[in-house]
Amino acid sequence: MKCVISGLRVIGFLSVMLLGTLSRAADRPTLIAGVWQNLTPPGVTMTADNHVFCQGLAIDPTHPSTLYLCVCAYDVSKGGLYKTTDGGGTWAKIGPLDEPIHIAIDPHNSNHLYCVDGVRGATLGFWVSNDGGKTWTMPEGFAKVTEPPVGTRDLYALAVDPTNFKHVLVSFHSPWRGTDNCGVLESHDGGSTWIVHDPPAGSAKGYGMAIFFLSNPATRQGDANTWLFTAQAGGFFRTTDAGATWSQVYPLQMTHGGNQLYRTKDGVLYSGGYQYPVRSTDNGASWQALKTGLVYSWYMGICGDGKNLYTACSNPKEPFFTSPEKDGLTWTAYEGGTQKFSAEPFEMAYDPANHILYSASWGEGLLALKVRRP
């Protein structure tokens, strides 16, 4: 099933400015090298009984003091999208989105953003901002393509082509109308028109699928038609022809909530997963579980700083784990396990200009680590 829908419907929203303002004069928080510190926006309380969680995280590549944090909540009024322009010193809640899951920033225009919203609330779907998150629009093409037979706007994941910000993939949380599975939508024009791609043959029913580009110009791996689809039932699937055909490349599922894909400068891929994180040395054509030094659990976020890799699991009272990027097979507790946490990272991001690693960690909040440098 393939179709193309065009048009644009603009829904103007004024930003909702809460929890203070974005002060240009404020200083970055003081971070201690080697110690994870909590930078969660004031007023965002994360405890086991209030069901408020961190989700996606993004750093502006041209202004690394600007970060966006997605917060979800069973009571959607407590969720939303938060922005800081001083590295977490001050925060503002921006826009009307109830349950933002992932956000992407145009590397050539800091004001141009995409965000996917899903799971619950009244703002499910694909959204675009051209003013740094103050106002958002849902493209008319997206609104129309998600009418039957797709029949849902409940999104889960967002992927942007590393060579073309207008080339976008989204995957879903809910099954499509009349089915027990869901596929992928693809846009080549920033969301104005969409192509519908059916689910990979062999992927099993389940709520929540993730999608990634497997293209890396720096190492000449893959291209715009090479993708990875990960499911909560059925495993990992890979295509090299933009979804026309798929191959199962790993049998175990991703973690509920999603998984992160990280590529080292040498082109080795790492992903979260069920039981253990996984590694691929052939651009996603095959994967191996990473067990040495890690505990049996669920893993989502995984990231590196160019020298070391970092991840954490869903078991409470566990540390972050680390491995040299040149190795990636043997892991140890970060700083000897001196800090323990209650939840795994949903998504991580690294600021190379200031050597800061950020972790949007489910029920922990936004954590920041000043990385020790030699």
pLDDT tens, position by position, 11-55: 333 333 333 333 344 578 999 999 999 999 998 988 767 789 999
- All residue ranges of the chain with pLDDT < 50 are 1-25
Separation CA 169–CA 172 (nearest Å) = 10
Can you state the percent helix, strand and coil of the chain, rounding each to 5?
A: 5, 40, 55
DSSP letter at 144 equals: H
Residue 297's DSSP bridge partners are 275
- The first and second tokens of residue 276, run together, are 């253990």
**Eight-class DSSP state of 121:** S
User: Which residue type does 373 have?
Assistant: R
pLDDT at 26: 55
Instruction: Output the pLDDT for position 48.
Output: 67
d(CA 323, CA 308): 6
What pLDDT, on the 0 to 100 scale, is given for residue 24? 40
Q: What is the pTM of this model?
A: 0.92
Q: What is the CATH number of the domain that holds 44?
A: 2.130.10.10
Q: Enter the tokens of residue 280.
A: 């691929």
- Distance CA(65)–CA(347), nearest Å, equals 18
Task: Give the number of other CB atoms < 10 A from CB of residue 100.
Answer: 27
Q: What range does the domain containing 162 cover?
A: 4-370
CB 158 within 8 A of CB 168: yes
DSSP 140: H
How many structural domains does the chain have? 1
